[in-house]
Structure 1
Amino acid sequence: MGKIRVVELNEKERKALAEGFRTGKSHAFRKNCQLVLLKSEGRASKEVGGILQINVVTVNSWLDRYEAEGIEGLRVKPGRGRKQVLDPEADKEKVRQAVEKERQRLKQAKLILEQDLGKQFSLKTLKRFLKKVAADTKG
């Protein structure tokens, strides 16, 4: 068994991490704050990984980011995850026209859009897009 890596925190850092853990907007950020707090207590990476249900390598990666960038390094950076198939800005008008043309046959509108936009997507994706656009125009 190797040496346990302990993160030394001053009172200000500990307070900021505790606040991030309690009130952070994203679940991932709160979890990462908790990770650093647990490691500062002298716990092993394997134990922290077991508590948070993540891999030991992930625990150590987040620790590296915290040590390099501070608390801001614990936030998930924009651009992660799957990109949208239909862009609300660029595709909104074409979607509106296709749905107006085939108001009663959404499957047909989907086929028209796939040809026009050169993109493949499911009927469910089109319905989700329509809901999102409708919600954006109401609010």
Structure 2
Amino acid sequence: MSRRLRFISLTPDQQPIVNDAYQHGEKRALRRRAHAILLSHKGHTINQIRDILGVKRDTVSTWLSQWEKDGIEGLQDKPREGRPSLLNESELAVLQQLVEEHPHQLPVLHAKFQDKTGKVVSQDTLRRALKKTATVVSGYAAH
């Protein structure tokens, strides 16, 4: 089966944008995608780019399509939803109150939280919740 050769042709305005993303992109994924675009612009085939970057052919093809559709924005990571929080707003408020009453006492905090809310969670879950809500209490921050 013969595949059509496909290359990206960058305009003079696009080249510095892609070069900047490749050299200074905040995330590794963006730098790799920009690298693929630059390689395509220089005449490398999808299979050559696949071999250079060590990714699947479909991945390279997707990156090229994303570039063609949305430009540099198409190469950025898309926001993703994570797992829903185990604690709701009222439980977080209870946790905040308990932290003020029992600072630096995670086992006590853990037991009292479970007594007040009836919710069984691990100490690690409480520690993560405290960190996420920007409550910095010595001894609770995950190391």
Q: TM-score, normalised by structure 1?
A: 0.71
- 1:80-95 to 2 correspondences below 5 Å: 80=80, 82-83=82-83, 85=85, 90=89, 92-95=92-95
Q: Distance in 1 between matches of 2:66 and 2:121?
A: 36
Contact residue 110 and residue 123 of structure 1 kept, 8 A? no
State yes or no: 1:24 paired with 2:57: no
Per the alignment, residue 123 of structure 2 pairs with: 123
Question: What one-letter code is carried by the residue in structure 2 that aligns with 1:32?
Answer: R
1:62 Cα deviation (Å)?
1.5
Q: Distance in 1 between matches of 2:56 and 2:122?
A: 33
1:18 Cα deviation (Å)?
0.2
1:4 Cα deviation (Å)?
2.5
Contact residue 4 and residue 42 of structure 1 kept, 8 A? no
Contact residue 6 and residue 40 of structure 1 kept, 8 A? yes
Larger Rg: 2
Instruction: For structure 2, list consecutive stretches of 5 or more residues without a partner in the other structure.
Output: 137-143
SS in 2 for 1:42: coil
Instruction: For structure 1, list consecutive stretches of 5 or more residues without a partner in the other structure.
Output: none
Q: Alpha carbons of 1:121 and 1:4: their partners in 2 closer, same or farther (altered >3 Å)? A: farther
Match of 1:108 among 106, 111, 124: 111
Q: TM-score, normalised by structure 2?
A: 0.69
Q: Alpha carbons of 1:109 and 1:36: their partners in 2 closer, same or farther (altered >3 Å)? A: farther
- 1:4-83 to 2 correspondences below 5 Å: 4-78=5-79, 80=80, 82-83=82-83
String of CA shifts for 1:57-89, please: whole Å, max 9, x gaps.
1111111111011111111122x15245257x9
Q: CA RMSD in A?
A: 3.1
Q: Alpha carbons of 1:47 and 1:121: their partners in 2 closer, same or farther (altered >3 Å)? A: farther
Question: What one-letter code is carried by the residue in structure 1 that aligns with 2:23?
Answer: R
Q: Distance in 1 between matches of 2:94 and 2:124?
A: 17
Question: What one-letter code is carried by the residue in structure 1 that aligns with 2:111?
Answer: Q
SS in 2 for 1:15: helix
What is the number of residues matched between the two proteins?
Answer: 130
Q: Distance in 1 between matches of 2:86 and 2:42?
A: 46
1:25 Cα deviation (Å)?
2.0
Identity %: 27
